[in-house]
Amino acid sequence: MRALKTLVMMQLKDKIDMSFLSSWKKALFKTIFWLIKFALITAIIYLALYVLSYLRVVSILPGIPQNFMVCVFTLMLLLSLFVCTVGMSRSLYFAKDNQVLLTLPASRTEIFTSKIIVYYIYELIRNVTYFLPLFLVYGYLNSQPFYYYIWVLVGTGILTAVPVVLGAFLSIPMMFVISFLKQHKWFAYSLLTILSVGIVVLVIWVVYKIPAKFDLFANWQTTFWKIQDFMNEFGKICLPFTWLFVMVTGTRYGISNIMFDSKQFIYLFSTLGVIVVAFAAAFLIVRPLYFKMASSPFEYKRVKVKPKRNKQSKPAKSVLKKELLLLYRTPNKMFSLLAVVIFLPIAIFMLNKFYMAMDITLLGKYLQIMFNVLIILLIVTATNASIAQIYSEEGASAYLIKTNPQTYVKQLSLKLVINAVLVSLSIIATTIVFGKFYKFSGLVIFELFLFIEFVYLSHLLWSAEMDFMNPQNRQYQTTGQHINNPNSLKSTLTSFVLSAIFAFLTFFLIGEGERMVFVRISIFAALFLLLRIWLYVNKIKVYYKEKQ
Amino acid sequence: MKKSTLIIIGVIYIASIVIISVFGLVPKIYRKVYPVTKIECLNETDEKTIVRKNGDEFTIIVKFTEPANANDMSGTILQLRWRVYPDNATDNNVQFIYDKTRKNFQFVQDESGRELGTVLFFAPATFNLTILAADGSGVKFNLLIRAIRI
């Protein structure tokens, strides 16, 4: 048991920042911070569900109906199951720490069990943060008795085990899929391209389904019953999820709540049975496979690499080539960036299709333009959260910057070029889509593009500056990732603030005409960009001189 | 992009449509009154009730287990579900017409005194109920409700 506990704590430290355990002050701060986060999430969920209940959007009766919550719960649990399956596959079969764990003085069963426990704890923390507030608010709005809140804590614990053990069981086919895709990269990229094209086609098809004229309030009753029919059908199709939901919250019948009836107990024991059977199956089938995979010696594995001629390139071209290679070899980053680049114009197209279906006043038109600007800026500046860790990601290799035969400013700026180019292309497409809907002239579209581009570039440089002024190299050096990078958080917060400021400016100045508003805001954005360029260049000069 | 950032952007995306619908739409004056033309009871047979439809006769049989408790809403309870046609009826409220002198059942009311279609049974009971359109059109739906021990 002691070995199991040690194994669990060792692996937990990789997933969760446990540094707060070293001092009571840090632990207190962490606890308060977590409580504030929990309270904030609960408050947001309460506000959303209260509005739905007050306006009778999802039910003609007061409170929140069960069928609506089943829809939300199903989507969240499916996502959790998918994440658990992929995560368990990686953790069990592809994690580099497996070979190290096998050398420790612990039995193989203890090592395998520790992996499952670590995942359970990680999922429990996530579920307590997101699922539990949902259940608590549902109970409060539906006037549940006090014992509901006690049971929900137990129910959340049981519910957490479901995706974990099912994920462990489903990790076997997932492992084969991941292995196949790793060995046949061309197939992986082709599949991804086909999926992306499919999703784009589906989204465009949905967008064309939006009616030409759409009056939410006039057609509300019809829409309400369509929502009711959808939720009822959904509950019937996703029956196991309905049973799981009833297991945790009891049955909501009209405005009455039924807890601890025979139905709930049947679902509870069935769930426990499924957990036991899935765990037993994982133990019997997954465990031997896990050891076989974990025992494969990686130190002596020879990967055949085709020798390539070493070509000499200019320094700038070398840096760009290296960045492209790094991006290509980090699929998560590449697909995340490409997803934003491709979906931004589609998202704005879909949004404006909704807007054009409304019969609006002049105020409505101004609000539409403001929201377009806000959403475009939010999306493009939010991508800079990855820029706020671009230098620290190099970890211990950051010193190589001193060996490059060019200035620091040039080297550091070149790392930003790929992101800037790709997102700028997306901004061009987006501003054309936006401008066409509102019948802006070519000149106004160009001014709009300049405005958004300047804001994006300013924030890009600002995020990069956050990284080299507060480097997090050590975290990336040891673990390869940084769960709560303060620079990424700061970059995200500033992106929201900046987007809000420029969106409000647009709204307040739009009364003077589209031409004037974008000229003025572009000038303001250009001045802001010049300021950020000046700060970026000078801070590099100061920082790297200090580092010397 | 973090999941939380995506969620917030998604919320703003959807909220923008709602905000513009509230503040930016051209006001429409709906002069035309659309009266209620039909009321339909949507209750179906489940583990607590048996619904029988025989031509114009609509009967809901409730399995009486234990007397209902108005404080914690436990015991034998029937939740009526109904739909008013057309969907764009000007007034889609309904009234429940039944023998109010009877003591073995009770209709639950909200804070404003409106009945919500929730019936609490304190003892086995049989009664006729009429769901009447509140717009004065005279459209109604008659049903028989029986709470019996099975």
Judge: B25–A221 Cβ closer than 8 Å, yes or no: no
Question: How far is residue A74's CA from residue A242's CA, in Å, rounded to a whole number?
Answer: 8
Read off the pLDDT of each residue in A27-41 and give the average, rounded to a whole number. Answer: 87
- Which residues, listed in sequence order, are joined to residue A410 by a DSSP beta bridge? none
ipTM attached to this prediction: 0.70
- Of the two residues A408 and A264, the one the predictor is more confident about is A264
Among residues A307, A537, A544, which one has the least CA distance to residue A404?
A544
Of A253, A263, A386, the CB nearest to B77: A253
Position B31 in a domain: no
Q: Is A387 at the interface with chain B, CB within 8 A? A: no
Q: Which residues of chain A are within 8 Å of residue B116 when distances are taken between CB atoms?
A: 61-62, 254-255
Q: How confident is the model at residue B109 (pLDDT cuts 50, 70, 90)?
A: confident
Q: Are A251 and A66 in contact (CB under 8 A)?
A: yes
Position B57 in a domain: yes
pLDDT in tens, B13-53: 988 988 888 888 887 766 678 889 999 999 999 888 999 99
CB atoms within 10 A of CB B23: 12
Question: How far is residue A32's CA from residue A26's CA, in Å, rounded to a whole number?
Answer: 10
pTM of the model: 0.71
CATH number at residue B50: 2.60.40
Domain count, chain B: 1
Nearest CA to CA, how far is B140 from chain A (Å)? Answer: 19
A 450-509 residues with CB below 8 A of B? 488, 492, 496
B 48-77 residues with CB below 8 A of A? 48, 72-74, 77
A 189-218 residues with CB below 8 A of B? 215-218
Q: Is A363 at the interface with chain B, CB within 8 A? A: yes
Measure CA of the first residue to CA of the last residue in chain B; give whole Å.
58
> Alpha helix (H) ranges present in chain B?
3-23
List the structure tokens of A519: 């000229």
Give the rounded percent of residues in chain A with a pLDDT score beyond 90. Answer: 31
B 94-133 residues with CB below 8 A of A? 108, 110, 116-118
Judge: B79–A254 Cβ closer than 8 Å, yes or no: yes
Q: Which residues of chain B are within 8 Å of residue A221 when distances are taken between CB atoms?
A: 87-89, 92
User: Is residue A331 predicted with pLDDT exceeding 90?
Assistant: no
User: Is residue A307 predicted with pLDDT exceeding 80?
Assistant: no
A 58-77 residues with CB below 8 A of B? 61-62
What confidence score (pLDDT) does residue B43 get? 92
Q: Is A358 at the interface with chain B, CB within 8 A? A: yes
- Of the two residues A60 and B12, the one the predictor is more confident about is B12
Q: Are A415 and A390 in contact (CB under 8 A)?
A: yes
Q: Which residues of chain A are within 8 Å of residue B5 when distances are taken between CB atoms?
A: 382, 385, 492
Question: How far is residue A501's CA from residue B56's CA, in Å, rounded to a whole number?
Answer: 63
Q: How many CB pairs under 8 A join A and B?
A: 111
Q: Which helix (H) or strand (E) holds A156?
A: helix A146-183
The one-letter code for the residue type at B2 is K
Q: What is the mean pLDDT of chain A?
A: 84
The number of helices, as runs of H, and strands, as runs of E, in chain A is 20, 2
CB atoms within 10 A of CB B66: 10
Backbone dihedral region of B71: left (phi > 0), alpha (psi from -120 to 50 degrees) or beta?
alpha
Maximum Cα interatomic distance, chain B, rounded to a whole number of Å: 64
Nearest CA to CA, how far is A350 from chain B (Å)? Answer: 10
Nearest CA in chain A to B29: A218
Q: Are B41 and B141 in contact (CB under 8 A)?
A: yes
| Phi, psi of B78, deg, nearest 5 | -120, 130
DSSP category for residue A58: S
With tokens 């465009």, the residue in question is A204
Task: Tell how strand B94-97 and strand B125-133 pair up.
Answer: antiparallel
Judge: A254–B21 Cβ closer than 8 Å, yes or no: no
Nearest CA to CA, how far is A10 from chain B (Å)? Answer: 26
Q: At what angle do helices A315-328 and A331-356 cross, to 10 degrees?
A: 80
Q: Which residues of chain B are within 8 Å of residue A354 when distances are taken between CB atoms?
A: 17
In our burial notation (b when 16+ CB lie closer than 10 A, e otherwise), range A430-464 reads bbbbbbebbebeeebbbbbbbbbbbbbbbbbbbbb
B57-63 sheet: strands from edge to edge: B49-54, B57-63, B140-148, B125-133, B94-97
Nearest CA to CA, how far is A306 from chain B (Å)? Answer: 35
Nearest CA to CA, how far is A534 from chain B (Å)? Answer: 27
What confidence score (pLDDT) does residue A480 get? 62
- Identify the domain containing residue B43 by its residue range: 38-148
Judge: B88–A258 Cβ closer than 8 Å, yes or no: no
User: Is residue A454 predicted with pLDDT exceeding 90?
Assistant: yes
Q: What does chain B come to in residues?
A: 150
